[in-house]
Structure 1
């Protein structure tokens, strides 16, 4: 068994904290958007399309939000069924249509953004910008390493 370096152990603690925070973010997000007939997962999909500013395919939604294609497809289907999204043809790929926000979806996303802004302001109160920027830089670096690490992509060390 390989011993972990001090840096690897610290990174492990950060990863465990990220897992815990993710769970709490999903729980808090579910409570935040429940009055709008949404869940955190559905909010993520609406956000991927709204933030892109143009219709997106399911794989594009999944990539933008760190979801599997299957997970994104499940949420897209529910959002379309409930009138938040509409399907549009993709002239470049017949089997991968675009999805766009309907008026209902755009309205819901604006409402969520207002609710989220208030929540984010409360969560950010008292945090230092320098620490936030440092945390973002570290997490972005780890994300990049995970994306390019061949060990993570399926081959054992």
Structure 2
């Protein structure tokens, strides 16, 4: 917070970083009994809440992760029988990631494990403030997306003739 007591975007960013760390730790603790980690749960959740199977790149984009990080998790999930990789009719090399029955059961177990924490947070924060927080975070994501899209559109690639 700056000296005049007015919160800044940086204050919010730092609070999000802190909360993210606590979410990861809490997730690991709560889903351990289901045989998962927060990262595994995150990918299973992305698939479980999607109306269709997704390629790794879409999971990564939807979750704000790198494709490489998601691919590592997917490889582990395949090895544990929680997801399979199937042919993608829209792209020969980008396989679709599909939850198996075991993957759906693991996701259900994880979701049930966090119900008490969800209730405690909702009780403290309230549904109206939770809705506002969600809206603010989505607006921040949109602003960042627009900012970087406009920067990349304004930046012209360096051409060989620029060095002549």
Preserved contact between residue 84 and residue 100 of structure 2 (Cα < 8 Å): yes
Give the Å deviation of 1:64. Answer: 1.5
Gaps of 5+ in 2: 156-164
- Alignment partner, residue 84 of structure 1: 82
Kindly tell me: are residues 98 and 7 of structure 1, through their superposed partners in 2, closer, same or farther at Cα, counting changes over 3 Å?
farther
Q: How does 1:60-99 map to 2 (within 5 A)?
A: 60-99=58-97
1:77-112 deviations in Å (ceiling 9; x for gaps):
000011100111112211100111111101111111
Q: Secondary structure of the residue that 1:99 maps to in structure 2? A: strand
Counterpart pick for 2:29 among 28, 31, 36: 31
Q: In structure 2, how many angstroms separate the alpha carbons of the residues matched to 1:60 and 1:27? A: 25
Give the Å deviation of 1:9. Answer: 5.7
Preserved contact between residue 79 and residue 85 of structure 1 (Cα < 8 Å): yes
Preserved contact between residue 146 and residue 152 of structure 1 (Cα < 8 Å): no
Preserved contact between residue 85 and residue 102 of structure 1 (Cα < 8 Å): yes
Counterpart pick for 2:48 among 50, 53, 77: 50
Structure 2 residue 141 is the aligned partner of structure 1 residue 143: yes
Structure 2 residue 145 is the aligned partner of structure 1 residue 123: no
Structure 1 range deviating more: 10-19 or 121-130? 121-130
Q: In structure 1, how many angstroms separate the alpha carbons of the residues matched to 2:129 and 2:120? A: 17
Q: In structure 1, how many angstroms separate the alpha carbons of the residues matched to 2:6 and 2:66? A: 27
Greater Rg, structure 1 or structure 2? 2
Output the TM-score relative to the length of structure 1: 0.87
Give the Å deviation of 1:117. Answer: 2.1
Preserved contact between residue 122 and residue 130 of structure 2 (Cα < 8 Å): no
Kindly tell me: are residues 7 and 83 of structure 1, through their superposed partners in 2, closer, same or farther at Cα, counting changes over 3 Å?
farther
Kindly tell me: are residues 7 and 88 of structure 1, through their superposed partners in 2, closer, same or farther at Cα, counting changes over 3 Å?
farther
User: What is the total number of aligned residue pairs between the two structures?
Assistant: 152
RMSD of the TM alignment (CA)?
Answer: 2.4
